[in-house]
Amino acid sequence: MNTKDRLAPKARQALALPDEERIRFILEERWIGYTKANEIITRLEDLLVNPKIGRMPNMLITGKTNNGKSHLVKHFRDLHPATDNPAGKGIKVPVLYVEAPGKPDISHLYCTILDTLCTPRKANETEKNLQFQVIDVLKQIDLGIIVIDEMNNLVAGTPLSQRAFLNSLKYLGNQLERSIVGVGTAEVLIALQVDKQLSNRFLPAVLPTWQLDVEFLRLLASLEMMLPLRDASNLTEKTIAMKLHAMSEGSIGELSLLLNTAARWVIRNTKKGKPECIDKTALDQCGYIPPSNRRSEANKV
């Protein structure tokens, strides 16, 4: 296979860039659709077109940290950007994406929603008035679904504050008749158990840890196509694939970080006449530290 033909079009073009610009290209965020992510996106699409009913279906996207949850929902938001909607009464916001506050503080969440929509608000406003304003504003726009990332921050509060926060979310969804999508680690599943109605309404969608299987090999092949290196790395070869899986510990975020770090090392350290590719030497010397080893490395300081 020709060196250029094995790369995706944008990566092929990036081969002509100076080394440091190639590195910047490698470090840019990229989306790679894989089976489980595509399944969840299909479920999100279904929520987006779900008719208004008294008990709107919700979703909870969960999985281990750095396993692609936030990237997935941000990609979905980008597939459905907000528009001015001149033919309608208000702007069209198919996906309202916000991050949950660091603790279960519903007033903070209301402020974040208003700020995201560039809506003026009074400083030190009461929770009740903020709630009224948020519901009023969201009813005036053409709203699709609400996505709340980092929902696992709920566990930073007391059981009482968690329940109050979740009850406010339930009220918000009921008033708007719009689906709410929570995103977070497994801790949020525990937090939701304080309210049986909410736990039943937030149907889980799990992004599991990657196994060393055919799907993982497909992912490696797709990622290699995005890396503008002059020679093939053959990441799906058994030995290198096993090493990548072990080092990344089955996390897609860690895998991406590992490959980006290794590719950068390769561009800067490959000697003239040697293959410019990711191999065992690059993985060992690029400076990447697997997640489970980071605490022990910090203790050496």
Give pLDDT tens digits for 117-155.
999 998 889 999 999 999 999 999 999 999 999 999 988
- Give the CA-trace dihedral at 275, 280, 281, 284, to 10 degrees: 150
**79's tokens:** 């597939």
Q: Is pLDDT of 108 > 90?
A: yes
Give pLDDT tens digits for 86-106.
777 789 999 999 999 998 999
Give pLDDT, residue 297: 61
Q: Band of the pLDDT at 300, cuts 50, 70, 90?
A: low
Range of the domain at 154: 35-207
Give pLDDT tens digits for 7-57.
999 999 999 999 999 999 999 999 999 999 999 999 999 999 999 887 889
**20 and 54 in a common domain:** no
Q: Report the CATH number at residue 53.
A: 3.40.50.300
Give pLDDT, residue 298: 57
Q: Are strands 142-149 and 202-207 parallel, antiparallel or unpaired?
A: unpaired
**102 and 164 in a common domain:** yes
Q: Band of the pLDDT at 3, cuts 50, 70, 90?
A: low
d(CA 275, CA 64): 36
Give pLDDT, residue 155: 83
Number of domains in the chain: 2
Q: Is pLDDT of 184 > 50?
A: yes
Q: Is the dihedral of CA 188, 190, 195, 199 positive or negative?
A: positive
d(CA 101, CA 209): 26
**144 and 190 in a common domain:** yes
Q: What average pLDDT does this structure show over 285-296?
A: 89
Average pLDDT, the chain: 92
Residue 221, in any domain of the structure:
no
Give pLDDT, residue 4: 62
Give pLDDT tens digits for 213-226.
999 999 999 999 99
State if pTM tops 0.85.
Answer: yes
Q: Is pLDDT of 199 > 90?
A: no
**133 and 15 in a common domain:** no
d(CA 48, CA 70): 18
d(CA 220, CA 237): 10
Residue % of the chain over a pLDDT of 90: 76
